[in-house]
Amino acid sequence: MTKQKRHYSALSQPTLEMSELVCKTLNHDATDMLIDKWLEHRNDAYWEWFQGVRERKHAANTLRRQVIVWNKGEFVPENIFCRTVDTGRLIPLDRTWTTHVYHHRSMQDRKLSMMPVVFTMLPELMLLRGMHDHGCDDVYIIVTDMKRQEMDDVTEYFKLVCRHAYGRTCKTNIGTQIQYDHMRLSHTLLKQRRTPCFPQIDLIFRAILYEKRPPFIILFSHQTTSYSQILFTHPSFVPAGDIFFDFPSGCPNPCCNDDCEMIRFPRRGIEGAAVLSIKRGGRLGRKIKAKEMCNWIDCSACFNEETQHYAESSEGSQSSVESGDTPTTNGLVCSKCRLVKYCSPEHQRKDWEEHRRVCAKPAA
């Protein structure tokens, strides 16, 4: 029996198979090469920001909060650690990812490389990848040529769609509003000869959102007077404002203000972030619930009363003290840096080769 072909509309759920955009995939090796290239250019605003991170001493009460720490060694990703928002682990920024860049076929006809697209936002991608232990091995970027106001309007449109029509039937008046905004944006981008057109942007964006369920999607604009937008799929995925409040805007002109930025990184936390209100659960994906897991990467233990009892009964309280860990109601805390937890002294020893690069006493 022939499978019926699905048709695109503003209110129906699209699929990736329906997209006419070209997908260019940059694997882990390509990402490593870009990171090595970026490390050669240290005298920029990002380098100064990371130097500021090194001068900050983490507080003793940052066990569950977002934190980025650089305590030891030279400026390389494996020496800079970030707290993950999904597992609570402290992991280095040396974990690479696969980037899927969707672009109009005209860019392929002109044989334009997608490497510069990723390179221009590499520091932001490194930090966003470092904030996630799972679910961020793949990063999705949609390349557009929208100007600033058009990017603002498209962002508000996707917020509206996700709030009222993601995986559900919306009310009649909301559906009418979505269709009107869709028609208006389609006409605006068509009139300005933007590529890809808005229906293709909308199709691929919602298809990625529904089929892949990533922590964030990036709308990239190569217009010099515009910016690139990061759309987060949950508030917990947004970087904390008290850590990234002074993060560089990416603009090479030192006279520019905060509005002049190449990529809109949420330096003010939730207040300045584009967050999509997505209903989760059931067929729409798992509900987002932050965990607190053993810091050893190969351990799947989550901290609760059962794991605490297991750690003390199997190893004994004497072993816990000898290992330098402090028993708590939620696991064994590293007694020196107080940044990480373990389910047992054995896993603390296995993780030491990596954790030693960041372990240092907190600020008084």
Single out the residue of 135, 130, 92, 126 nearest to residue 234, CA to CA. Answer: 135
What's the token pair of residue 324? Answer: 């330098």
At 64, give phi and psi (nearest 5°).
Answer: -110, -5
- Confirm if 21 and 204 have CB atoms less than 8 A apart: yes
Q: Could you tell me which residues come within 8 angstroms of residue 320 by beta carbon, excluding any fewer than 6 positions away?
A: 311, 312, 326, 327, 332, 345
| Helix, strand, coil percentages, rounded to 5, for the chain | 40, 15, 45
Residue 131 amino acid letter: M
Helix H or strand E segment including 82: strand 81-83
Residues facing residue 10 across a β-bridge: none
**Global pTM value:** 0.87
- Are the CB atoms for 315 and 263 separated by under 8 Å? no
The answer to whether the beta carbons of residues 296 and 350 sit under 8 Å apart is yes
**Pick from 86, 64, 60, 59: which is nearest to 234 by CA?**
86
Q: Is 3 left (phi over 0), alpha (psi -120 to 50) or beta?
A: beta
Cis-peptide into 214, omega within 30 deg: no
Token pair in block for residue 344: 């047992």
Q: Token digits for 1?
A: 């029996």
Specify which residues 81 forms β-bridges with. 69, 92
CB-CB contact of 199 with 154 (8 Å):
no
Tens-of-pLDDT digits for all 364 residues of the chain?
455 566 788 888 899 999 999 999 999 999 999 999 988 876 678 888 998 988 887 666 676 688 899 999 999 999 999 999 988 999 999 999 999 999 999 887 766 788 889 998 999 999 999 999 888 899 999 999 999 999 999 999 999 999 998 877 888 999 999 999 999 999 999 999 999 999 999 999 999 999 999 999 999 998 888 899 999 999 989 999 989 998 988 766 656 655 567 889 998 899 889 999 887 654 444 566 678 889 999 998 888 543 333 333 233 333 333 344 444 446 889 989 989 999 999 999 999 999 999 999 887 6
